Structure 1
Amino acid sequence: MIATAAAAHHGWSSYDAERTLRPTAQVLESSWGSPHGSIVIAVDDQRWDVVLAPVSRMQARGLTQADIAVGRTVTIEGYPRRDGTREIRAERITAGGKTVELR
């Protein structure tokens, strides 16, 4: 059961690495926790969930919780889900005046 849960969580193949998205948007919701951070942004009046990296990795690379706080403007570069769900797996984020590699 543990292996199944881990495989389900790390199913990066569900994202389309052939289609890179680069939206710039205001953060509507922000989560700074395990197993990874996440934010919600609005792009063309549609809400998108954005999967970030683990908090420890973001902190080590210079991203802070304040950088992705609600109301901040961020640019995400990442891949959308293949099934059409409005979710992006972020490869990098520009926030707080810096670009941070997440993977």
Structure 2
Amino acid sequence: MRSLAIAATVFGLLAPTAGFAHHGWSSYDAEKVIKFTAPLTAVSWRNPHGAAQVAYQKQNWTVILAPVARMEARGLTEAMLKPGETVTLEGYPRRDGTTEMRIERITVKGKTVELR
């Protein structure tokens, strides 16, 4: 019984650390919301997070989406995000100036989906 309690305590201490190590959202500037409309050039429908590429103002942007299950639960499907599809993206840019953003919401074909 004692070893079970120790194992539970260790897991409880390590589980939050794994979550923080995975996300690293602090590299995005939540004080600076950006929004633009652009065509998708590539889409990766995968976990732990989907991703896409867009061409905006002569730059290629990497777009960090939500986990697949969350996107699908909120009505965003892989079929909606195809290269060439124009989308409106709203999210946070990276603090270091890299052309990458963490998306909070996406509008495609007139439908807005909250991703966080």
1:47 aligns with 2:53: no
Describe the SS at the equivalent of 1:42.
Answer: strand
Query: Which position in structure 1 is the counterpart of 2:10?
Result: none
Residue 46 of structure 1: how far off its partner (Å) = 0.1
1:28 aligns with 2:48: no
1:79 aligns with 2:92: yes
Determine which structure has more spread, i.e. the larger CA radius of gyration: 2
1:38 aligns with 2:51: yes
Residue 3 of structure 1: how far off its partner (Å) = 7.4
Describe the SS at the equivalent of 1:22.
Answer: strand
Residue 5 of structure 1: how far off its partner (Å) = 6.3
Q: 1:11 aligns with which of 14, 24, 31?
A: 24
Question: Over aligned residues, Cα RMSD in angstroms?
Answer: 1.7
**Which amino acid is the alignment partner of residue 78 of structure 1?**
G
Q: Which has more helix, going by share of residues?
A: 2
Q: TM-score, normalised by structure 2?
A: 0.82
In structure 1, what is the Cα distance between the partners aligned to 2:21 and 2:37? Answer: 29
Q: Which runs of 5+ in 2 are unaligned?
A: 1-14
Q: Which runs of 5+ in 1 are unaligned?
A: none
Query: Which position in structure 2 is the counterpart of 1:62?
Result: 75
Percent identity for Structure 1 against Structure 2: 61
In structure 2, what is the Cα distance between the partners aligned to 1:73 and 1:59? Answer: 19
Q: 1:96 aligns with which of 98, 109, 112?
A: 109
